[in-house]
């Protein structure tokens, strides 16, 4: 058995993959593949309608927000956000908590003035800056809620007086959030929602047209909202597999139930990292992510030996991002507690072997 601790793309439950694979041959007894059926057919329209309804239900999205399924990944949102809500000559505030936040700010700086309100780059993004002020004349404040590479996460929305935009690519649907606290949430689907190729955007309708710029239609939130995410050919398969996964999450009891599982999984792993003298967590304790657990060992030899043992035990995808090194265990919704236990067992086994 394989335990996939990879950071993506697309870690979903086996039963979702099974059902998804069947639809490639025969979608809902239509005799057609989900890949060939018209995206304007009633059957596919129903897929989009149900996927949107499930996102609204699972995240309790208020009625004055649009739920969009777009393409271009979270990276496209780095550009679409300022295009849509940063006026010509305007200012935007960004919190710099890592590579993705930096990239988002860089795109915005091509369209206006960006103020970096705080950065944790001084310690390779191992913590979340707490003391910062967001200028009241900023058009919006942007932050990344889960820093996939560094294993830090912001659970409480910073208190600011301007509209808030959050990149939730790697923690959306992993914990309960209050959507009304935010003005715009975006997330590449490929961690907890579905396959790469679709990007979820939840946008408060009063942001439409906010930048006053002429925005090409394909990058205009309002156009996509008007068209019900069907402005152009949507990523049909990614949306369909996301729907299957959203159904799976609902059947499990929803986001509050998965959040409890995620808390237990993260606690189990962090406790072992703290207990076991061979491993050391890299993220500051109060900012530790529930989705990506980053840790190192004292020497490269130990890391190579542990990686080899992990491989033997079917534990894959553990190598850390090149900018952090060591290990990263991504423990998204679909990764079970028994997989976390298998990793903890391997860490204990490593410790025992060193003693003997």
Known binding-site residue numbers: 40, 74-75, 100, 148, 167, 190, 232-233
Would you call 191 a catalytic residue per the annotation? Answer: yes
Active-site annotation holds for 210: no
Residue (187 or 255) nearer to ligand PLP, CB: 187
Residue 23 CB, nearest approach to ligand PLP (Å): 23
Edge-first strand listing for the sheet containing 327-330: 280-281, 292-296, 327-330
* Residue 167 known to be catalytic: yes
> Are residues 3 and 331 in contact, defined by beta-carbon separation less than 8 angstroms?
no
CA distance 55 to 57: 5
Burial class (CB in 10 A: 0-12, 13-18, 19+), 308: exposed
- Where b means 16+ CB within 10 Å and e means fewer, 158-178 reads bebebbbbbbbbbbbbbbebe
Beta carbon nearer to ligand PLP, 100 or 140: 100
Residues near ligand PLP (CB under 6 A) are 73-75, 100, 144, 148, 167, 169-170, 188
Judged by CB, which is closer to ligand PLP: 37, or 128? 128
Rg of the chain in Å (alpha carbons): 21
Q: For residues 350 and 95, give the distance between their C-alpha atoms in angstroms, rounded to a whole number.
A: 39
**Nearest distance, CB of residue 148 and ligand PLP, angstroms:** 3
Whichever of 23 and 51 has its CB closer to ligand PLP, that residue is: 51
For residue 31, what is the DSSP state? Answer: S
Are the beta carbons of 152 and 295 closer than 8 angstroms? no
Q: 96, 100, 171, 210: which one is catalytic?
A: 100
Helices (H) and strands (E) in the chain, counts: 9, 14
Compute the least distance from the CB of residue 57 to ligand PLP, in Å.
Answer: 24
- Crossing angle of the two packed helices 255-275 and 337-355, in degrees rounded to 10: 0
Q: Which of 96, 183, 191, 204 is catalytic?
A: 191
Name the minimum Å distance from CB 109 to ligand PLP.
17
Shortest distance (Å) from residue 82 CB to ligand PLP: 15
To the nearest whole angstrom, how small is the minimum distance from the Cβ of residue 107 to ligand PLP?
11
Q: What is the closest distance, in whole angstroms, from the C-beta atom of residue 213 to ligand PLP in the complex?
A: 22
Q: Count Cβ atoms below 10 Å from residue 4 Cβ, excluding itself.
A: 16
Of 169 and 242, the one with the shorter C-beta distance to ligand PLP is 169
C-beta of 76 vs 139, nearer to ligand PLP? 76
Contact criterion met (CB below 8 Å) for 269 and 290: no
Distance CA 329, CA 318 (A): 5
Burial class (CB in 10 A: 0-12, 13-18, 19+), 255: buried
Write out the two tokens for 206.
């009063």
Distance CA 273, CA 275 (A): 6
Q: Report yes or no: 33 and 25 within 8 Å, Cβ to Cβ.
A: yes
* Closest residue to bound ligand PLP by CB: 73
Annotated binding site for pyridoxal 5'-phosphate: 74-75, 100, 148, 167, 190, 232-233
Residue with smaller CB distance to ligand PLP, 135 or 158: 158
Active centre residues (catalytic)? 100, 167, 191
């Amino acid at each position: 058995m394989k335990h996939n601790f990879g950071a993506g793309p697309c870690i979903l439950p086996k039963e979702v993959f099974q059902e998804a694979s069947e639809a490639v041959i025969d979608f809902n007894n239509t005799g057609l593949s989900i890949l060939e059926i018209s995206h304007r057919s009633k059957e596919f329209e129903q897929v989009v309608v149900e996927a949107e309804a499930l996102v609204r239900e699972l995240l309790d999205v208020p009625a004055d927000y649009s739920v969009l399924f777009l393409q271009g990944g979270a990276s496209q949102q780095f550009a679409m956000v300022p295009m849509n809500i940063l006026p010509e000559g305007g200012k935007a505030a960004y919190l710099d908590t890592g590579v993705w936040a930096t990239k988002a700010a860089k795109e915005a700086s091509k369209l206006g003035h960006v103020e970096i309100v705080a950065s944790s780059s001084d310690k390779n993004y191992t913590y979340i800056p707490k003391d910062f002020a967001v200028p009241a004349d900023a058009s919006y404040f942007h932050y990344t809620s889960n820093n996939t590479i560094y294993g830090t996460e912001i659970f409480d929305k910073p208190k600011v007086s301007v509209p808030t935009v959050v990149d939730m690519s790697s923690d959306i649907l992993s914990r309960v959030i209050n959507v009304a606290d935010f003005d715009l949430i975006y997330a590449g689907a490929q961690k907890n929602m579905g396959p790469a190729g679709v990007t979820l955007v939840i946008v408060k309708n009063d942001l439409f047209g906010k930048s006053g710029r002429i925005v090409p239609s394909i990058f205009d939130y309002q156009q996509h909202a008007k068209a019900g995410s069907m402005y152009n050919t949507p990523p049909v398969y990614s949306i369909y597999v996301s729907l299957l996964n959203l159904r799976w999450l609902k059947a499990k009891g929803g986001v509050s139930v998965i959040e409890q599982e995620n808390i237990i999984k993260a606690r189990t792993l962090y406790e072992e990292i703290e207990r076991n003298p061979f491993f050391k967590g890299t993220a500051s304790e109060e900012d530790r992510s529930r989705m990506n657990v980053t840790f190192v060992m004292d020497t490269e030899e130990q890391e190579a030996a542990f990686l080899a043992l992990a491989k033997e035990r079917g534990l894959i995808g553990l190598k850390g991002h090149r900018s952090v090194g060591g290990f990263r265990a991504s423990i998204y919704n679909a990764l079970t507690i028994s997989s976390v236990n298998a990793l903890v067992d391997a860490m204990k086994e490593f410790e025992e072997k060193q003693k003997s």
